[in-house]
Structure 1
Amino acid sequence: MSASRPTRVALVDDHAIVEVAFRAALAEVPSVQFLGISPTVHELLVEHPDAELVVLDLRLADGSSPISNVTALREHGMRVIAYTSGEDPYFVRLVARTEVLGIVRKSAPVDVLLETIRSAAAGQALMSTEWAAAIDADPELADAGLSAQEEAVLAMFATGLKTQAVASALGIAVGTVEDYVRRIRSKYARVGRAAPTKIDLYKRAIEDGFLPMPGRE
């Protein structure tokens, strides 16, 4: 994607009036182009197949599964932000464990939504308090069994530090850091918490307490 071209953003929501608010809000974000709204994921894939980032309402009138919707969008290469009223904590907890780049409550200030969209447009996850709360309440996060050194590598690497910087900070070779990252990914995959990308590693680090949750010391 060219750095000069805005990221194409679409909305999945079955309340047409929401489009008016989104269009007005996103007009203030020059890094994105708002394509429009669709009431279902299926219709979005037909109407806006070139969307790069999708803001997805978790509860739609067609009764579709939020997890299936996220999966369908990701299979088409679209990044996803979950947009929720938060009335179903179970759905929010499930979605928090998928490849979404953020979870935003509908009652949140517009600035929070826009910040999340800006981050997602840049391919970065933004850990909101809503997301953190969902993870904190999840009783089913299996322990990956990382060693102390693996935890240290994960905590640094997942924040965005380059491999060389992690190696220098820990006094180890770059190749050793790369070996640690491979082992970390393997251990998470074995317990059903795959972490193939750096964003996934960031989420695993938050989930397991190796990095602080937003809003906490």
Structure 2
Amino acid sequence: MSGYRVALIDDHEIVARGFADLFSTIPGIEVVATVGSVSALLDSLAPGDHLDLAILDLRLADGSTVAGNVDSLRERGIDVLAFTGGDDAQLMRFAARSGVLGVVRKSESTAVLLDAVTRAAAGEPVASTEWAAALDGDPDLADAGLSPRERQVLSLYAAGAKAPLVASRAGIAESTVIDYIRRVRSKYERVGRPANTKVDLYKRALEDGILPIPGL
């Protein structure tokens, strides 16, 4: 692995400079752009350019919306990590519902920020107490109505177990595990909370308290 390519979208010049300086000496992370808007980032990418992660300030001054920004980035195959002052739970809810990999506060320590960016650049969800609190207070987070058995299978599968191991631990056939996962995805889809990937399933499990928030 030659390294992850990341970009920061933040319209505060001091924040952008500090971020770039912080990561300039970190092996495996290349900050390829620090820009003030999503449109500026996308316009700067040449055809075929690959970007692993965009670290997105949730409060930009260009009139863009969180959902619109996240959608634009994900449509280009770019994962998103929300970067916020943490003073607006509604913005964090918008971000979580839009499909970001996690939320990290600007006030976090250097170690926490480095860990979050490194994990998100690798496509891993970054759970945090802020993300959990925002989702916990979200009145629009629809209940998927999973059965106890579906919740059990989801808890094992979303935590990283492959279907054969889930089958062994749950005492059911592997084909039944696959059927349960298909039903779980369908139920989440019906309530407007898509879970098309294993990362999505992990996030849904965190949101619904089926898996614990790491570190809590």
Question: TM-score, normalised on structure 2?
Answer: 0.94
Q: What is the DSSP-based 3-state SS (H/G/I as helix, E as strand, rest coil) of the residue aligned with 1:145?
A: coil
- Structure 1 residue 12, shift from structure 2 partner: 0.5
Aligned-pair identity in percent equals 53
User: Do structure 1's residue 21 and structure 2's residue 22 form an aligned pair?
Assistant: no
Separation in structure 1 between the aligned mates of residue 95 and residue 67 of structure 2, nearest angstrom: 6
Q: Which residue of 2 aligns with 1:136?
A: 136
The aligned runs of 1:163-178 (5 Å cut-off) are 163-178=163-178
Q: Which residue of 1 aligns with 2:39?
A: 42
- Structure 1 residue 39, shift from structure 2 partner: 0.7
Separation in structure 1 between the aligned mates of residue 56 and residue 176 of structure 2, nearest angstrom: 40
1:126-168 deviation per Cα after TM superposition (whole angstroms, max 9, x unaligned): 1011111111111222111111110000011111111111111
Structure 1 gap ranges (5+)? none
- One-letter amino acid matched to 1:181: I
Q: Is the contact between residue 33 and residue 41 of structure 2 (CA under 8 Å) also seen in structure 1?
A: no
Give me the CA root mean square deviation.
1.3
Q: Which residue of 1 aligns with 2:94?
A: 94
Q: Is the contact between residue 52 and residue 122 of structure 2 (CA under 8 Å) also seen in structure 1?
A: no
Q: What is the DSSP-based 3-state SS (H/G/I as helix, E as strand, rest coil) of the residue aligned with 2:152?
A: helix
- Structure 1 residue 70, shift from structure 2 partner: 0.4
- Structure 1 residue 36, shift from structure 2 partner: 2.0
Q: Is the contact between residue 20 and residue 34 of structure 2 (CA under 8 Å) also seen in structure 1?
A: no
- One-letter amino acid matched to 1:66: V
Aligned residue-pair number? 213
1:30-88 deviation per Cα after TM superposition (whole angstroms, max 9, x unaligned): 22211121111001001245322100001111121011000000000001000011222
Separation in structure 1 between the aligned mates of residue 72 and residue 168 of structure 2, nearest angstrom: 40
User: Do structure 1's residue 56 and structure 2's residue 85 form an aligned pair?
Assistant: no
Separation in structure 2 between the aligned mates of residue 186 and residue 67 of structure 1, nearest angstrom: 23
- One-letter amino acid matched to 2:129: T
- Structure 1 residue 25, shift from structure 2 partner: 1.8
Q: Is the contact between residue 132 and residue 214 of structure 1 (CA under 8 Å) also seen in structure 2?
A: no
- One-letter amino acid matched to 1:124: E
1:115-134 deviation per Cα after TM superposition (whole angstroms, max 9, x unaligned): 11111111110101111111
| Bigger shift: residues 158-167 or 66-75 | 158-167
> Could you say if the C-alpha distance between residues 28 and 157 of structure 1 is closer, same or farther in structure 2, counting changes exceeding 3 Å?
farther
User: Do structure 1's residue 11 and structure 2's residue 11 form an aligned pair?
Assistant: no
- Structure 1 residue 20, shift from structure 2 partner: 2.2
Question: TM-score, normalised on structure 1?
Answer: 0.94
- Structure 1 residue 14, shift from structure 2 partner: 0.7
- Structure 1 residue 215, shift from structure 2 partner: 4.1
Separation in structure 1 between the aligned mates of residue 25 and residue 170 of structure 2, nearest angstrom: 42
- Structure 1 residue 185, shift from structure 2 partner: 0.2
Separation in structure 1 between the aligned mates of residue 126 and residue 11 of structure 2, nearest angstrom: 25
1:171-216 deviation per Cα after TM superposition (whole angstroms, max 9, x unaligned): 2111111110000000111111111111111111111111112443
Structure 2 gap ranges (5+)? none
Q: Is the contact between residue 10 and residue 48 of structure 1 (CA under 8 Å) also seen in structure 2?
A: no
Q: Is the contact between residue 7 and residue 34 of structure 2 (CA under 8 Å) also seen in structure 1?
A: yes
Q: Which residue of 2 aligns with 1:155?
A: 155
Separation in structure 1 between the aligned mates of residue 209 and residue 155 of structure 2, nearest angstrom: 9
